[in-house]
Structures are given as structure tokens and as C-alpha cells.
Amino acid sequence: MEYSTLGNSDLKLSAIAYGAFAIGGNMWGGNEQKDSIDAVKASIDNGVTTLDTAPFYGFGLSEEMIGKAIKGYDRSKIQLLTKFGLVWDGSNNGKGEFYFDSENAGKKVSVYKYASKANVIKEAEESLRRLGTDYIDLLQIHWPDNTTPIAETMEALGLLIQQGKIRAAGVSNYSVAQVMEARKTLDISSNQVSYSMLNRNIESDLVPYAKKNNVGVIAYSPMERGLLTGKYFKDGKLKENDHRNSYFQQFNLEKVNIFLDTIAPIADAKKATLSQLVLRWTNLQPAVTVVLAGTRNAAQAVANAQAMDINITQEEMQMIANALSKI
């Protein structure tokens, strides 16, 4: 495993991080808790020491399972990344920005983006409790809240740093303009954004900005929620409540399938899976410090960690780029 410093922070993060969205269950068709915890442990045991979660993932369940999974490990060797700013329990008292309706334990819940100073501090305390720790390595706003001044949110993060409750602060899904506004108040360390072979929008603005200003890029959805594994084209049936049934429709699936068939020989020659090739490719992109990879079981966790053992030559990178240009 490779480890890199995140932006201007003193955090050394594993190049592949465990992405804990799916183990929360909501929107993903569910998962066995034992399998999820085993996956976290297998990740850590194979060098993936960076774990990324959020209160919204399973409405607290994902953080709780991460907390259970890390018991018995040296906390100083694990980096916990979590978020704030998505509220579903009505504690925002109607404030904030309505995001969407979801379901929790069979009941409809309305999710709001809400990042007031008081809410940031409140959510941080709740995350500390669920994770069973006294500090968070990186705390990130989950989505921009257009009803709260960015400066107010950043002030709250700065206070949490001063109190020793978080080691560093970051943002997620921020535009370059929003990152610039945030940095007027607090020198944030990172921006977590969607980035994959099929979604390279950040290359035109965020990547050059991040490189110039020492802001780490944490890439999520590198596998496009499993589409780039190729499994969907072999067994495309998903559970009825799996959000990917609609998510995948944004892509030209025929061209994606052809693309995967084109690059498969590169993976085969390295005795690697498509997933491992895709993860390694993503890790090698400019400004990307960490690549998030979700897993549902221990075997997948080990495979993700082993992606960092793959060497991709410049010639092979160009072959992939040529194939991508045809999607």
C-alpha cells in the first residue's frame, strides 16, 4: 500500500480508502452487518488504514459499524474520515436546504442540507459517539448548503480543530469557487468529489487548482457504483430498492461495455480484475490523493487493497485514454 499526505494537513492516508456508503444499507439493497465489519477489518489488515463514512450512510449505522470494526486496532494507525451537513431527524427545525426524501426503517424521512455552526458542532459530537473515538482525522461537509454562509461553516470547523476534536477539515462536492470562498476563512485540506473514467469533469478546473494550492482530491465513485467492474453486463439484475437501477441509465451502456472489453486484456495480462485496473488508474491521476472503494465483504476488501500492486505503463495509460475517447 502507498500512503500520501493529504493537502496541507499532517494526515498520512492510504492511497485506497474504505468507502462505507454501501455498508449503511440505505439505497444499496442492504448488506449483512457481519460481512460489512469483516470487510473493514480485512481492509485495515491489508494496509487500507483510511476509512471514509458519514452520518447519512444508513442514518448513523455506517458510523456505528466502523466504530465496532476498529475496536482492538491501534487508533493512531487508522484515519477516520466522516462528514456532516445532511440532516434527517428534524433537528434543523425547518432550516437549511431541502435535498430529497428517503426512507429509514420503513418510514419516510426528509433529508436537508444544513451546515450552520451549531449543527456542525452537534453532528461532530454525534459522530464521535457513534465512532467510539475522541477525535476525527478529517471532518468534511457532505454537500454545499446554500442557506448557510460558507464562512460560518468554516468557523465551526476551525473551532473543532482548536478543541482537538478533529485533526483536519475538508469539503465535499464543492466547486472551485466554493473552495476558494472556504479558504478565505479556513485553510481546508481537501475536496472529496465524484471522479471516474466516465466522469472526468474535475480535470478542467479543480485538478489544476488543487495542484497549485495544495488541496488534496479524494475521489469517490471511481467504479461508478460498480458499473466499471463489468459485473453488471454479465449479471445485470439488481435488487428492486437498489438506486443503481436508475443511476446507470445516465451512461451509454453499450459503449461502456465495449470500453471494458477493450481494456480487459490489460487487466488480464497483469492477472488483475477490471476493478483493480480501474482503481489503480484513478489513483495515478493528477492531484488525486485518495481513491474511495466500497466493499461488501472481506474478499472484495483484499482485492481492492491489492490494486495498488499493479503497475500500469505509459503505453497502457495511452491505450486506456484512446479507448475512453470513444465513449
Write out the catalytic residue numbers: 57
Question: Could you tell me where the DSSP H helices lie in the chain?
Answer: 33-45, 61-69, 117-131, 150-162, 176-183, 206-213, 231-234, 244-247, 253-269, 274-283, 298-306, 314-324
Return the C-alpha cell found at 153: 461553516
Place of cell 476525527: 136
d(Cα 125, Cα 119) in Å, to the nearest integer?
Answer: 10
How long a stretch of residues is the chain? Answer: 327
Residue 76's identity, in one-letter code, is S
CB contact burial 207-220 (16+ within 10 A = b; e otherwise): bebbeeeebbbbbb
Phi-psi label, residue 164: left if phi above 0, alpha if psi -120 to 50, beta otherwise: left
Place of cell 431541502: 98
